[in-house]
Amino acid sequence: MPSCPALFIGAVASGQGKTTIAAALARAHRRRGLRVRVFKTGPDFLDPTILERASGAPVDSLDLWMVGESACRQRLAEAAREADLIIVEGMMGLFDGTPSGADLASRFGLPVAAVVDAQAMAQTFGAIALGLARFDPSLDFHGVFANRVGSDYHAQLLKDALPDDVRWLGHVPGSEDISLPERHLGLHAAIEIDDLDARIDRAADALAATALAQLPPPVDFDAPPEPPLPRLLDGLHVAVARDAAFSFVYPANLRLLSALGARVTEFSPLADDALPAATDAVYLPGGYPELHAPALARNTRTSSAIHAHAAAGKPLFAECGGMLYLLDTLTDSAGQTTPMLGLLPGRATLSKRLAALGMQSIAGVHGEMRGHTFHYSHVETPLAPALIARYAQSDAPGEAIYRVGTIVASYLHGYWPSNPDFIAALFHGHAI
């Protein structure tokens, strides 16, 4: 049974600095020569890019519903066989969501370190720490860590407020040199932060002498071997858009394509790339097309290639931002409207308010595929949905899945390993 020191990084809420602390911890141990594997709880495309930069290893998602308990156990066991430390960053607050990060930590016996943004509190820090430590007795509560602390005196007030049985793991100061920039969908992606490594290194320096930087206790991870997947996409060449406009991709999704036998090649619409030679299917993932709309509209080499691909009746799958790229127009939050590819009738408009958020699944002829939705835009289209997703917890109707010939598009971000048959049918252009 593989065993490895492991730690779950949770928090009171979103915005407490979990990613900063998890990245700093990964970098601190990596600088010591340890092999570090980091995971991210729940659906997220942005934090993993920063955690991958910090750890030097790919970052996969863990979620008891979307990924599934068995697959989560497999990923952790695989990591434990090769790593000296496993770090799992939570999502939102420790107990938020069904299932929550606490549910995941409890299921796999992960010690929990809670990050609290303490910049606007003193003794109340103790009350918050007490609640986190006692709310779920099944948790192995490792301790509490204070972020954005104003001074050594402030740190002492926080530490003195803790109950005797809640461990103080240390603190880092509030500093613009450490914090990570944010926008409407969360943190900036790693490739967009010019001084990211310097920020991570400064944060790692700040926590290097804290109790949090000590190796946590080992955890046993056991999982039966996974059976090999059938080669349902054997010989298929899939072109995947990958750049700053189309970057929301689960690493597990691309690994699945390869495991099913597909050859995967990346191209960049922002660089005005043509499609790779002999492309059989195209995948346009989500991202930030609204931030790069003028460049996308100018890049006729890419647009001509995608139009020709669609005209030839070859499969094209687009998720969220990829779907916006296929529409007639895209209007950003400042009211600027830009023409897009026009392969799907309709228009998208960015809002300053969240339009949809949550875990959803889609049921088709090949069963259920799970995933999530998170977007600030609205789409107006005359198209009738081919399928409609359902929210995981309420069974309320969710995102529409549109189909025009061999073009399939939706706001839904699918976690493809949840149903390889669904994905194989989609990239072959078959009924889903």
Residues marked as catalytic? 320
Q: Are 248 and 287 in contact (CB under 8 A)?
A: yes
Q: Is 325 helix (H, G, I), strand (E, B) or coil?
A: helix
Q: Are 267 and 276 in contact (CB under 8 A)?
A: yes
- In angstroms, the CA 239 to CA 262 distance is 10
The alpha-helical segments, DSSP class H, found in 83-160 are 101-108, 124-134, 152-160
Measured CA distances, 103 to 11, 17, 110, 167 (Å): 14, 21, 10, 21
**146 Cβ neighbours under 8 A, 6+ residues apart:** 116, 118, 125, 155, 158, 170, 171, 172
Q: Report the sign of the C-alpha dihedral through residues 394, 398, 403, 409, in that order.
A: negative
The alpha-helical segments, DSSP class H, found in 284-419 are 293-298, 300-311, 321-326
- In angstroms, the CA 252 to CA 341 distance is 28
Tokens of 40: 């991210």
Q: Return the DSSP state at 55.
A: H
**312 Cβ neighbours under 8 A, 6+ residues apart:** none
Q: Are 412 and 319 in contact (CB under 8 A)?
A: yes
Q: Is 343 helix (H, G, I), strand (E, B) or coil?
A: coil
- In angstroms, the CA 327 to CA 212 distance is 48
Q: Which residue carries 């990239």 as its tokens? A: 427
Measured CA distances, 17 to 82, 349, 354, 386, 387 (Å): 28, 31, 21, 40, 38
- In angstroms, the CA 374 to CA 185 distance is 8
